[in-house]
Amino acid sequence: MRAYHSEVLRGQVWGGVITLAALVTGGYVAMHGHELAGAIMGGGGIGGIVVTFIVGRHTKPAPTATEVPVANITKSKRRNKK
C-alpha cells in the first residue's frame, strides 16, 4: 500500500512539473512574438491537467490486496460444492 501512495505522489509531482514547464515555455514563446504558439503551448499544459483530473475522478481505483471481487467469491464457492 505504501508503494501505491509513493507512486501516486510521484505521478502528481511529475504532472505538476510538466504543467509548469508547459506554462513557462508558452509564456516565453508568447513574449518573443509568437502569441498563438505560446497560447497553444500554455493552454495545452493546463488542458492536459484538467482532463487528467476529470477522467481520474470518473474511473474506479484498482482493488487493493484485501478486497476480493464478488465474482471470484461466487466462483470459488461453486468449485468447493462440486
- d(C-alpha 29, C-alpha 70), whole Å: 54
Give the pLDDT score at 36: 95
| Entry pTM | 0.58
Q: What is the residue extent of each domain of the chain?
A: 2-81
- d(C-alpha 28, C-alpha 34), whole Å: 9
The x, y and z cell numbers of residue 33, run together, are 512574438
Give the pLDDT score at 25: 94
Give the pLDDT score at 66: 63
* Mean predicted confidence (pLDDT) in 41-67: 74
Q: Give 73 or 30, the one with higher predicted confidence.
A: 30
Confidence band of 32 (pLDDT split at 50, 70, 90): very high
Q: Give 26 or 49, the one with higher predicted confidence.
A: 26
